[in-house]
Amino acid sequence: MAIVQIFGMPLSNYVWSTRIGCVEKGVDHELVNVRPHSPEINAIHPLGKMPAMKHGDIQLCESKAILSYIDAAFEGPALAPRDPVNAAKAEQWASLINTATDPAIMRAYVVPIVFAPGGQPDRAKIDAAVPAVEKQMDILDKAVAETGFLVGNSFSIPDMLLLPILAAASRFPESGAALAKRPNLQKYLQTHMARESVQKTAPPPPKG
């Protein structure tokens, strides 16, 4: 049977999320290390973004869609809750992470540090992003306080989307300090970073 291929750079939080899902599900996969807008990704993603996925004749883009496919197409542990209420909550948190958490922490704060033109981060831009980082950390700290997961009592797709963001945030001064002030979120990160799926797929740390 065809192997699942994930296209994208290992440092991408969304590429990492999809790879975590593959290992959690017990699905063999191959990482094809290509940049955004490469021919391989452009052939699948209409906007040239990563990750993209091929599985035989199946082609998909967007991390949530890829993770949902992996969950539905293969036997193995569920990556998303099956009961209606928690299934809806998982969709809710996946949407919040993709539309609010990632833009605030990754796009506005981490990316300008890691990919600063000439290696010189724009301090004014980064400082302006910190209040939104703090707000997201507050929201997430409360969300994981009760069970140590975003939804219910198991590691699911929203956690797979969030964990790489927190791992990146922990490496930089302001976001790392914000994380350290939220004990529930700090424990959440430490606990789930030890998962086999996370350790097996972890990219090299970003510079900065």
pTM: 0.96
User: Among residues 73, 92, 108, which one ends one of the domains?
Assistant: 73
Pairing of strands 52-55, 4-7: antiparallel
pLDDT digits (tens, 9 = 90+) for 27-62: 999 999 999 999 999 999 999 999 999 999 999 999
DSSP 148-168: SSSSTTS--HHHHHHHHHHHH
DSSP 50: S
- Say if residue 196 is in the same domain as residue 113: yes
CB atoms within 10 A of CB 184: 15
Confidence grade of residue 118 (pLDDT, cut at 50, 70, 90)? confident
Stretch 53-80: mean pLDDT, rounded? 98
The residue range of the domain holding 56 is 4-73
**In terms of domains, do 89 and 192 share one?**
yes
Number of domains within the chain: 2
Averaged pLDDT for residues 96-122: 93
186: domain CATH number is 1.20.1050.10
Residue 54's DSSP bridge partners are: 5, 59
Decide if pLDDT at 1 tops 80. no
SS3 26: coil
The reply to whether 188 and 146 lie within a common domain is: yes
pLDDT tens for each residue of 136-185:
999 999 999 999 999 999 999 999 999 999 999 999 999 999 999 999 99
Which range has the worst mean pLDDT, 40-54, 88-102, 193-207? Answer: 193-207
Same domain, 193 and 100: yes
Can you give the pLDDT at residue 199?
A: 97
What are the DSSP E strand ranges found in 48-205?
A: 52-55, 58-61
pLDDT of residue 208 exceeding 50: no
End residue of a domain, out of 30, 53, 73: 73
Strands 4-7 and 29-32: parallel
d(CA 155, CA 136): 20
Cα–Cα nearest to 198, from 163, 169, 168: 163
**First vs last Cα of the chain: how many Å apart?**
41
CB 11 within 8 A of CB 32: no
